[in-house]
Amino acid sequence: MNRLHQILTASLLLLLLPICLLAADKPDMTKQKTWGKKEKDEFYEWLRTQQGGATTTGENRQITSALTIEERQKVPSTLSNTYLSARTVIYDVYSFNRDIEAPNPESLIDEALGELAGDALGDVGDLQEDSSIPNGQIDADLIGMEIQLGKPIKTWFRQLYDLGYYKGSIDWDLEEGLEADFSLFRAGYHLELAMVPLGLDQTRNIILRGGLDLLYGRKGSLAPLEEGDLEGQRRRVLEKTMLDHVAGWQTGLSWSVGYERQLGENFWRVHGMVDGFKAIHLPSDDDRENYATLGLGIGISRVF
């Protein structure tokens, strides 16, 4: 009797062993959209084993449609991949009006006298001799970081949420040393189209992006003034006028074009892009010129 019991037990274990092995080798079905050739081959092998150990032939690779696979494994058809990217960008800021007009010299004098004692009347007279309205070109440089979070809408079409912080300096060639610091915050919603160049696989994409931004420019600290320094006060008024062109709330229209490449059979990607945005002041102000940027960005991304 014991002999028969041992034989039955051994037979049952032999029957259950293949089932246990198959269950252990079941592929991870939640990552289908990021599978490479290796993962797809492993899935086909596992599927053939599930269907009764069919031989490995070219015909057996097409035994089940993608829809049937999803139905069998109960994978939601809405499954999509989250895209997270971090990148460094450098922007050159310039005004569409390349010749910015400074405040009228008389108004500069009035503002200076409003903050300083009026005992420097001789200096005021010197300033009044020049009745012309000076103008010059405003330029600025920005460097910062951006974080982007995205989700596919359709194949090769993705929506992105963008957060950025940039630090820079702005200068005015009206006269030497007329510059100031400022910072810029950015929040945007962008749409991206990924195109695969002819002759390349789907791990190398030409990227096109466009979207809307909300910007906030914050003025930096200005150098302290000595008491009675009327000329210094005049320069400070010009610096404030210069900062007004990048400070405050603005809306932005952004664009990007670049190249993205997947780093082998994994979830990591790198990209390099040329991009920029046009900033429009909110509310609109005839005394302030809207400005635009042109820059370069490099970053690394991961798909989850």
Which string of b and e fits 13-44 if b means at least 16 CB within 10 Å?
eeeeeeeeeeeeeebeeeebeebeeeeeeebb
Most confident range, picked from 168-172, 174-178, 261-265: 168-172
Q: Which amino acid is at 61?
A: R
| Residue 139 forms part of a structural domain | yes
| Residue 78 lies inside a defined structural domain of this protein | no
pLDDT at 64: 45
7 belongs to a structural domain: yes
- Work out whether the CA dihedral 230, 231, 237, 243 comes out positive or negative: negative
Count of structural domains, the chain? 2
Mean pLDDT within 291-295: 94
Tell me, yes or no, whether 60 and 198 share the same domain.
Answer: no
pLDDT tens-place string over residues 25-42 = 566 666 666 677 777 777
- Tell me the residue ranges of DSSP E strands in 155-290: 157-172, 179-195, 204-219, 248-262, 268-281
Residue span of the structural domain in which 240 resides:
83-303
Residue at a domain's end among 30, 51, 73? 73
Q: Which of 21-30, 84-93, 165-174, 175-184 has the highest mean pLDDT?
A: 84-93
Same domain, 171 and 274: yes
Domain boundary among 12, 47, 73: 73
CATH code where residue 218 lies:
2.40.160.20
Whole-angstrom distance, CA of residue 252 vs CA of residue 42: 47
Q: Which two tokens stand for residue 62?
A: 């097409």
pLDDT band at 165 (very low <50, low <70, confident <90, very high): very high
Shared domain for 113 and 172, answered yes or no, is yes
Does one domain contain both 147 and 120? Answer: yes
CA dihedral 287, 290, 295, 301 (to 10 degrees): 120
ω into 283 cis (within 30 of 0): yes
- Examine the domain organization and report whether 125 and 24 are in the same domain: no
Amino acid identity at 130: D
Asked whether the predicted pLDDT for residue 132 surpasses 80, the reply is no
Are 236 and 107 members of one domain? yes
pLDDT in tens, 102-115: 776 656 556 555 55
Number of H helices, E strands in the chain: 6, 10
Regarding whether 104 and 213 lie in a shared domain, the answer is yes
- Asked if residue 58 is part of any domain, the answer here is yes
SS3 16: helix
* Residues 185 and 131 both lie in one domain: yes
Asked whether the predicted pLDDT for residue 158 surpasses 70, the reply is: yes
pLDDT at 107: 60
137: pLDDT confidence band, cut at 50, 70 and 90?
Answer: confident
